[in-house]
Amino acid sequence: MKARAMFVVGGTIGYVLGARAGRARYEKIKAKAQSFWQSPTVQQKAAQAQEFARERAPEVQQKLAEATSRVTAVVADKVGGEDAPTAAAVHHRASNAPGGVHD
């Protein structure tokens, strides 16, 4: 469904930008797009998508922080040197960041 909607939106934008029909055709397409967006079904699906994103955001944030910590540790091991942060130091910084990793 999302792919189809994105295709329609992309096609509409392409047509509007490339159209030679003028302002009247643009206004007609704009009105149809607004009507589509304001339909109860589209608004319901948009609300569901927002709620899903809100529920998953902390989980995604934690996984991203963990992955960043692992990548930083690997890079530090490869680069070496005294100035390279240790994995523990990186994890500590990630844990203390707002919304950071919580063990």
> Residue 87: what pLDDT?
56
Asked, for residue 9, whether it belongs to a domain, the answer is no
Domain count, the chain: 1
Asked, for residue 79, whether it belongs to a domain, the answer is yes
Instruction: Specify the amino acid at residue 102.
Output: H
Asked, for residue 69, whether it belongs to a domain, the answer is yes
Asked, for residue 88, whether it belongs to a domain, the answer is yes
7-59 pLDDT, tens digit per residue, is 888 887 777 676 666 777 778 888 999 999 999 999 999 999 999 999 999 99
> Residue 67: what pLDDT?
93
Asked, for residue 98, whether it belongs to a domain, the answer is yes
Asked, for residue 95, whether it belongs to a domain, the answer is yes
66-93 pLDDT, tens digit per residue, is 999 999 988 988 887 555 555 556 556 6
Asked, for residue 5, whether it belongs to a domain, the answer is no
- Which pair of tokens denotes residue 19? 């159209």
Question: pTM of this prediction?
Answer: 0.42
CA trace torsion 88, 54, 56, 69 (10° rounding): -20
DSSP letter (8 states) at residue 20: -
Return phi, psi of residue 93, to 5°: -65, -40
Asked, for residue 36, whether it belongs to a domain, the answer is no
- Where in the sequence is the domain holding 99, given as residue range(s)? 56-103
